[in-house]
Copies of this chain bind each other. A is one copy, B any other.
Amino acid sequence: MATRKEVAELAGVSEATVSRVLNGVGPIRKQTREKVLSAARELGYTPNSLARNLALKRSGNLGVIMPYLPKARLFSAYYFSEILNGIGSKAQQEGYDLLMIFRNAEEPTDYEELFRMHKVDGLVILGAKDELGEREALRALKQNQRPFCVVNQHFDGEDFPEVDADHVEGSYAAAGHLLAEGYRRIAFLNGPVSYSNSVDRRAGYERALADYGMIPELQLQYEGNFSRKSGLAAARDIAARLQEMDAVFAANDRMAIGLIQGLEAIGTTAAEFPAIVGYDDSDAAEMVTPALTSVRVPFFEIGETAAGQVLSNRAGVQELAGRILLPTKLVVRASSLGSARQEHCCSLSRRLE
């Protein structure tokens, strides 16, 4: 492939002049301009990766579908930001830019068109829900053999390429830990069931109880929407039944933290405070007091794997795999260990006195 230097030599100008002409940065004499353009044409000069993409009829963009949540600060959510870090890292390695596409509530979901219009060369789909329009849009991608990958959502009965963590196993470990610590009446604050994630968490929770010959107590089942606010709201209901439970498993850290803050605001004493386990192991888990026991989800690796699947398929290297499940890991901290929680606070106060 021709270089900028060769274009400069053929046109009899400096390399800087070649750049200025190609970038339209004036003033340049018309004659000079024409000499450079004709030399570039003659040598078939493509200045960089962008031009190469154009020549190869690819966009150079890896598309990322983002949920439509007008008020949420998506990039600030640990879940999204870490997955995006993983996707971005892989895209950067492979020389792709990331095209963030926000779902538009007013237009039908049509992923196929993004490929037809050459907006993207591959697609990672975040925040999908199990809805008819979504299934159809994904089926179209599958049928046309587009490189795509669904993250953190499973579509039963389809054979879409999916990357997720094993949330059944993770939730089994979370509830199992509470049971092993001697807690028996474990409330469950889950997310909405339109996410396969919530369904998986329930399965793990129920399996752990079953190991001890127990079934979930109906009056101890709560639902939030994964926001801290919904944890705060649940605190009111949970506070009313504190005598009936000794622990709470929350389906993510934000709800767990909202629950802790809500129970504290109400004035719950240490003796009444339930043991609490969150999920995600977000950075906030280590910052709250008491530090939150949680289930570490390898979000970065999920994003990296999904992008890798899409881009390697794009390059024709391998077939799209089916469903890839990455392992989770329970991280035990003070919030699920009653005595340790008090000790942590006492040592903190001693040091600062």
Question: Is A25 among interface residues, defined by CB-CB distance under 8 A?
Answer: yes
Across the interface, which residues of B come within 8 angstroms of A288, CB to CB?
Answer: 287
Which of B49, B88, B116, B341 contacts A352 (CB under 8 A)? B341
Which residue in chain B gives the minimum CB-CB distance to A142? B25
* Interface size, A (range): 35 or more
Given A50-B119, A342-B353, verify A99-B98 contact (CB < 8 Å). Answer: yes
Query: How would residues 23 to 40 of chain A score, 1 for a CB under 8 Å from any chain B CB and 0 otherwise?
Result: 111100000000000000
Closest CB in chain B relative to A137 CB, distance in Å: 9
Given A76-B82, A100-B100, A143-B26, verify A51-B117 contact (CB < 8 Å). Answer: yes
Closest CB in chain B relative to A267 CB, distance in Å: 8
The segment out of A107-115, A177-185, A193-201, A238-246 that lies at the interface is A107-115
Check B264–A351 contact: CB distance below 8 A. yes
Question: Is A219 among interface residues, defined by CB-CB distance under 8 A?
Answer: no
Check B101–A97 contact: CB distance below 8 A. yes
A80 to B74, CA, bound (A): 12
Across the interface, which residues of B come within 8 angstroms of A289, CB to CB?
Answer: 289, 348
Check B112–A76 contact: CB distance below 8 A. no
Which of B49, B84, B100 contacts A107 (CB under 8 A)? B49
Residue among A102, A113, A270, A352 facing the most chain B CB atoms (10 A cut-off): A352
Query: How would residues 98 to 134 of chain A score, 1 for a CB under 8 Å from any chain B CB and 0 otherwise?
Result: 1111101001001011101101000000000000000
A140 to B60, CA, bound (A): 23
A289 to B288, CA, bound (A): 8
Across the interface, which residues of B come within 8 angstroms of A267, CB to CB?
Answer: 351
Give the number of times this chain occurs in the complex, counting copies: 2
Across the interface, which residues of B come within 8 angstroms of A144, CB to CB?
Answer: 23-25
A48 to B116, CA, bound (A): 13
8 A Cβ contacts from A301-353 to B: 341-342, 345-346, 348-349, 351-353
Which of B75, B101, B117, B290 contacts A81 (CB under 8 A)? B75
A270 to B73, CA, bound (A): 37
Which of B74, B78, B284 contacts A88 (CB under 8 A)? B74
Q: A22-B113, A345-B349 are in contact. List 11 more A-B contacts (CB 8 A).
A: A23-B140, A24-B140, A25-B144, A26-B143, A49-B104, A81-B81, A88-B102, A98-B99, A270-B352, A341-B352, A345-B348
Q: Which residues from chain A sit less than 8 Å from chain B, CB to CB?
A: 22-26, 47-51, 54, 60-61, 66, 68, 70, 73-76, 78, 80-82, 84-85, 88-89, 91-92, 95, 97-102, 104, 107, 110, 112-114, 116-117, 119, 139-140, 143-144, 264, 267, 269-270, 273, 283-284, 287-290, 300, 341-342, 345-346, 348-349, 351-353
A98 to B74, CA, bound (A): 13
Which of B23, B76, B98, B353 contacts A283 (CB under 8 A)? B76
| Interchain residue pairs with CB less than 8 A apart (12) | A22-B116, A49-B107, A50-B113, A50-B119, A73-B82, A74-B85, A88-B102, A98-B100, A283-B284, A284-B284, A345-B353, A346-B349
Closest CB in chain B relative to A297 CB, distance in Å: 14
Given A48-B113, A112-B25, verify A75-B70 contact (CB < 8 Å). Answer: no
Across the interface, which residues of B come within 8 angstroms of A60, CB to CB?
Answer: 119
